[in-house]
Structure 1
Amino acid sequence: MLLSLTIRNVVLIERLQIDFGAGLCALTGETGGGKSILLDSLGLALGARADSGLVRQGADKAQVTAQFEVPDGHPARAILEECDLAAAEDEELVLRRSLGANGRGRAYVNDQPVSVSVLRRLGDALIEIQGQFAQRGLMDSGTHRGLLDAYGGLDPRVREVGELYRAWRDAVAAHERAQTELADARQDEEHLRHAIGEIDELAPQEGEEAELAQQRELMMNAERLMGALNQAESELAGGGTGRGAESALAAARRGLERGLDIAGDALDPAVEAIDRSLAEAEEALARIHSVAHRVELDSGEQERIEERYFALKELARKHGCEVDELPALRDQLAQRLATVEHGEAHVAELAEKAEAARTAYLDAARALSEARTAAGHALDAAVNAELPPLRLDKATFRTRVDAQDDPAQWGPSGLDRVAFEVATNPGSAPGPLGRIASGGELSRFLLALKVVLAQVAPERTLVFDEVDSGIGGATADAVGERLARLADGRQILVVTHSPQVAARAHNHWRIGKTEAGATVVTDVDELGPGERREEIARMLAGASITDEARAAADKLMGPAE
């Protein structure tokens, strides 16, 4: 709900603040008093196109601030969250727009700088202006399908169709990917077979490169290593003296055994230590012999190791990987080759799944189209019943539901293009809502549509401009009655010249011009009950207010006033 509108230096307005209330809010005044300036100012705060001509003569800039109450769950809160402008649930939302005399401007949301497009998105979610030049809201055919679905209670079916559409498109994408992979694999089949053959011929094993590198290192330093091994073996064997480590340890153990009877358990740890040393010495000699055997391999084995080591390195370089990655690469190549050998069946299976998903989507979408057509007939009847009291008895409303044959036009919302159309005269072909030439007729037509869609339309403040243009009497009273009905539970702002409309308002402001020295300024006054009576009497009688006009005003306003 719009709480307040603050305007500074816009055309004839120097400084003005209006605090709005809930329900039906009427703005009245003489023609040319400045009502259009208020709407232009509001549009500026909502992100409308800016014109430097709005800046009051002599001022550097114009500024408009609109303050809103936005309940939790309102669509505007999702926009705030998306734009990282989220506010607390109880925090009011403030839109502000400044416009310099040079045409440059700035936009703010809760004092945070934003683009005008963000301001416009929030404005569209908060307020809908109905009038001759409004191109959003009901005038935007892009909103018609969603409104029809809401009116017909079809949203659950739309969600189901959306899920089936996404499942179909996912299945189509999987089929297309498989086709592409199969085509690529076929093109590379010869290369794949050759690459797999090369790898199979060498049959590389994981960790083999490190093992071969170690063997090469041993062989390349065989002479120096053998010297070290021979020396170590000689020392362990006793260096030719016959008293090697094993002999010495064995002799020491025999010596200890002669004292076991005397020392008892005291020598057991020493005997165990000698036993361990003997085992370690034996293992050391075994390892020395093993390494020596590897080093003493013949030159043919050395050549084989060299050749294999460099063959593996070259194959890895050719495929742009490490030697240890060759086995995994072979598996990947084999999988691609299997795609060629078994891909036809896989592609065919995916094609069947895609076709089944398409059929499921189409069945649900066609059923949704039928439901939309039925909902459209019900909506047509309801709207057409509202037209005669609004002096639109020659006009006919029609909901057009066109199922598209081109799959490129299908989507998660189904097959249909939905548009609200009107025929202004009997026998004329229906066309877009904008075909209605008169701004007043268009506003009344949109009022009828809004009344019918009141329970399903987005929660926004509605502004009606020229809704009573060219009407009076019973028609104006019908307009007022529908506006009051529509204002039940929401905020409606109406710029009106009709006393019948103004008399039904919950809040009333009078707009007029006053002279301030050499300049003229626009003023807005909130009217109390007595002031309302005088204003409605003026609207009935003109410049000279009579007692009869006041009595008529009292009758229009009813006993509550």
Structure 2
Amino acid sequence: MLRGLDISNMLIIDRLELAFEPGLNVLTGETGAGKSILLDALGFVLGWRGRADLVRQGADQGEVTAWFDLPAGHPAVAVLEDAGLPVGEELILRRVNTADGRKTAWVNDRRCSGEVLRALSETLVELHGQHDDRGLLNPRGHRAILDAFAGNDVQRTKVRKAWATLGTARKTAAQAATARDAIKAEEEYLRHAVAELDQLDPQEGEEATLDTRRRLMQGAEKIRSDVVNAYELLGQGGAETTLGDALRWLDGVADKAEGTLEAPMAALNRAMVELDEAMSGVTDAIETMSFNPIDLEETEERLFAIRALARKHEVAPDDLAGFASTLRSKLEALDAGEAEQAALEAAVREAQSAYDKAAETLSMSRQKAARQLDTAVTAELAPLKMERAVFSTQITASDPGADGIDEVSFTVATNPGAPAGPLGKIASGGELSRFLLALKVCLTQGQEGLSLIFDEIDRGVGGATADAVGRRLSDLAQGGQVLVVTHSPQVAALGTHHWRVEKAVRKGVTTSTVMPLSAPERVDEVARMLSGDVITDAARAAAEALLAG
């Protein structure tokens, strides 16, 4: 429930503080006095999107603060908790607008975004103005209104999830089919290429190994004879024999040389060891250089085959093995594609079935709620002097989508036998106000702690009809809170709390003020609304009669 509103430097308001009460609160005043400015200021602090030029001319910034009672279990508590904001028995919203357009908001002295304000506002205030913000006149919003009346949140969530799942399944199946078709188009090439690669079976690093072996075999014939000659000089009859003979001669006389031959003999022994290692290495080289000419031919053929295949597929020789694996994977995908596609199509059918079931359940709930809403609105029209009018919620089939399979529109017939049509086109100004009031009453039933605000809901009506509208507003305010901006004396007289909005010019500056009215002041204000600027005794008597009920 809205308890107060503090406004500073907004439009033509210098400073204004209002304390609202439970029951029916009415605001009256001359046209242009600034009644709608109060709603602009309230909408600003609630994060609603409205006019941009809110800051009073000459001021650096404008500021609005609103405070609400917040009983335990109020829907706003969940919004606060989700946003990580403090929760208490009182909710204080404050928002500042600088002259250059920057906006900053606080909730219980904690900074917050406009999105949080708007989420809170949906749990705090319900507004009907001359430009209704809830879409009652816009058929595009009627489906959401019916769902809100029916409490279809769970069903709508299921339908949205089922629609998203169906969309994903369809997209996945379509992408798989497209990919499979693309592979199918190159199937002949893939099978030929994979067979060719599998037959050659190139290995990573093989090209370099083959090239090295080929060069070695090509040069072996030129150097092998020299290496063999070197081996013969080192072996028997060569250096090995010479060193062995020398060592035996020295060994035969060493005991007579008084130790002078020990060092030379040791050196010769080391030389024999080194010579043996040298001969072993030369032997290995000779064996390496020994090859069958056919080996050279086979090595060259494989090397050239690998290089030719690499050029053909425009990859490096070392990448042929990986390239073959990639092509093989495509073929495997193609071969397994039929089974996979069948599984994907089955998933589409399953998702379609789940969506159809969820959408049908939601549609049945809407059909039931539509009848209930028609009955509820009809019951509300009788006290508003429209007992012969007919309100009907029309549900027609629509293309399936995230919101189900239904189109919803509100139609009315204002008199028996008259053709029914869209709400915004058939009803006159006064009739439209009453239809909207009846709808508002039905749509807000059961919403505890909600402040209902009506901006000139009584426009276009007068006399007994205005009195009927006022009495319905008064009934609606029982146990709750309704704020009404009105030009109707009948409505104003039924208020439990009354404020007058006045505009004045002081020193060339226009300002708007709001004054709470005492009982005598209410008589004068209602009399003014009845007679105009000059309040006659007859007008005052009529005002007293209205206020007396």
The residue that corresponds to 1:393 in the other structure is 387
Structure 2 residue corresponding to 1:427, chosen from 405, 410, 417: 417
The residue that corresponds to 1:161 in the other structure is 159
Give, as a single letter, the amino acid of the residue that structure 2 aligns with 1:536.
R
The residue that corresponds to 2:169 in the other structure is 171
Indicate conservation of the 8 Å contact 2:135/2:142, yes or no. no
Indicate conservation of the 8 Å contact 2:527/2:540, yes or no. no
| Structure 1 runs not aligned, ≥5 long | 245-281, 557-561
In 2, Cα distance between equivalents of 1:456 and 1:208:
81
In 2, Cα distance between equivalents of 1:324 and 1:62:
72
Which runs of structure 2 are paired with 1:108-119 in the superposition (5 Å)? Answer: 108-110=104-106
Residues 284 and 358 (structure 1), Cα distance of their counterparts in 2 relative to 1, 3 Å cut = farther
In 2, Cα distance between equivalents of 1:50 and 1:13:
15
The residue that corresponds to 1:258 in the other structure is none
Indicate conservation of the 8 Å contact 1:130/1:137, yes or no. no
The one-character-per-residue Cα deviations of 1:319-344 (angstroms, maximum 9, x if unpaired) are: 46565554444343234334555645
Residues 142 and 209 (structure 1), Cα distance of their counterparts in 2 relative to 1, 3 Å cut = farther
**Deviation at 1:376?**
0.4
**Deviation at 1:375?**
1.4
Give, as a single letter, the amino acid of the residue that structure 2 aligns with 1:16.
L
In 2, Cα distance between equivalents of 1:496 and 1:290:
114
The residue that corresponds to 1:537 in the other structure is 523
Structure 1 residue corresponding to 2:295, chosen from 288, 301, 314: 301
Give, as a single letter, the amino acid of the residue that structure 1 aligns with 2:149.
Y
The one-character-per-residue Cα deviations of 1:402-447 (angstroms, maximum 9, x if unpaired) are: 112xxxx311321111222323333333333322665554333222
Which runs of structure 2 are paired with 1:296-335 in the superposition (5 Å)? Answer: 296-298=290-292, 300-302=294-296, 304-305=298-299, 308-309=302-303, 311-312=305-306, 315-316=309-310, 319=313, 326-335=320-329
In 1, Cα distance between equivalents of 2:449 and 2:282:
90
The residue that corresponds to 2:456 in the other structure is 466
In 1, Cα distance between equivalents of 2:115 and 2:447:
23
Indicate conservation of the 8 Å contact 1:95/1:119, yes or no. no
Instruction: Tell me the secondary structure at the aligned position of residue 368 of structure 1.
Output: helix
The residue that corresponds to 1:132 in the other structure is 130
**Deviation at 1:32?**
4.2
| Structure 2 runs not aligned, ≥5 long | 245-275, 529-534
The one-character-per-residue Cα deviations of 1:340-398 (angstroms, maximum 9, x if unpaired) are: 55645654554454345434433442343233112101111011100111223343221
Indicate conservation of the 8 Å contact 2:214/2:300, yes or no. yes
Please state if 1:495 is matched with 2:492.
no
In 2, Cα distance between equivalents of 1:455 and 1:290:
102
The residue that corresponds to 2:203 in the other structure is 205
In 2, Cα distance between equivalents of 1:137 and 1:459:
22
Structure 1 residue corresponding to 2:355, chosen from 361, 382, 401: 361
Computing the radius of gyration over CA atoms, which structure comes out larger, 1 or 2?
2
Residues 437 and 400 (structure 1), Cα distance of their counterparts in 2 relative to 1, 3 Å cut = closer
Instruction: Tell me the secondary structure at the aligned position of residue 166 of structure 2.
Output: helix
Give, as a single letter, the amino acid of the residue that structure 2 aligns with 1:171.
A
Structure 1 residue corresponding to 2:444, chosen from 447, 454, 478: 454
Residues 518 and 174 (structure 1), Cα distance of their counterparts in 2 relative to 1, 3 Å cut = closer
Please state if 1:516 is matched with 2:515.
no
Indicate conservation of the 8 Å contact 1:130/1:443, yes or no. no
Give, as a single letter, the amino acid of the residue that structure 2 aligns with 1:26.
V
The residue that corresponds to 1:375 in the other structure is 369
Per mean C-alpha deviation after superposition, the further-off stretch among 537-546 and 174-183 is 537-546
Instruction: Tell me the secondary structure at the aligned position of residue 387 of structure 1.
Output: helix
Please state if 1:65 is matched with 2:64.
yes
Using the size of structure 2 for normalisation, the TM-score is 0.70
**Deviation at 1:96?**
3.7
Residues 489 and 182 (structure 1), Cα distance of their counterparts in 2 relative to 1, 3 Å cut = farther
Residues 435 and 307 (structure 1), Cα distance of their counterparts in 2 relative to 1, 3 Å cut = same
The residue that corresponds to 1:13 in the other structure is 13
In 1, Cα distance between equivalents of 2:329 and 2:468:
76
In 2, Cα distance between equivalents of 1:208 and 1:107:
70
Residues 176 and 221 (structure 1), Cα distance of their counterparts in 2 relative to 1, 3 Å cut = same
In 2, Cα distance between equivalents of 1:487 and 1:553:
19
Residues 153 and 8 (structure 1), Cα distance of their counterparts in 2 relative to 1, 3 Å cut = closer
CA RMSD of aligned residues (A): 5.1
The residue that corresponds to 1:402 in the other structure is 396
Indicate conservation of the 8 Å contact 1:403/1:417, yes or no. yes
Residues 109 and 345 (structure 1), Cα distance of their counterparts in 2 relative to 1, 3 Å cut = same
In 2, Cα distance between equivalents of 1:241 and 1:456:
120
Structure 2 residue corresponding to 1:152, chosen from 147, 150, 155: 150
Instruction: Tell me the secondary structure at the aligned position of residue 468 of structure 1.
Output: coil
Instruction: Tell me the secondary structure at the aligned position of residue 428 of structure 1.
Output: coil
Give, as a single letter, the amino acid of the residue that structure 2 aligns with 1:366.
E
Residues 73 and 375 (structure 1), Cα distance of their counterparts in 2 relative to 1, 3 Å cut = closer
- The percentage of aligned residue pairs carrying the same residue is 40
The residue that corresponds to 1:36 in the other structure is 36
**Deviation at 1:479?**
3.6
In 1, Cα distance between equivalents of 2:289 and 2:5:
96
The residue that corresponds to 1:336 in the other structure is 330
In 2, Cα distance between equivalents of 1:339 and 1:442:
64
Residues 299 and 163 (structure 1), Cα distance of their counterparts in 2 relative to 1, 3 Å cut = same
Please state if 1:445 is matched with 2:439.
no
Per mean C-alpha deviation after superposition, the further-off stretch among 491-500 and 382-391 is 491-500
In 1, Cα distance between equivalents of 2:69 and 2:288:
85
In 2, Cα distance between equivalents of 1:159 and 1:145:
14
Per mean C-alpha deviation after superposition, the further-off stretch among 322-331 and 33-42 is 322-331
The residue that corresponds to 1:249 in the other structure is none
In 1, Cα distance between equivalents of 2:356 and 2:131:
39
The residue that corresponds to 1:195 in the other structure is 193
**Deviation at 1:122?**
8.2
The residue that corresponds to 1:94 in the other structure is 94
In 2, Cα distance between equivalents of 1:217 and 1:77:
80
Give, as a single letter, the amino acid of the residue that structure 1 aligns with 2:26.
A
**Deviation at 1:73?**
6.2
Indicate conservation of the 8 Å contact 1:6/1:64, yes or no. yes
Residues 129 and 92 (structure 1), Cα distance of their counterparts in 2 relative to 1, 3 Å cut = same
**Deviation at 1:465?**
1.1
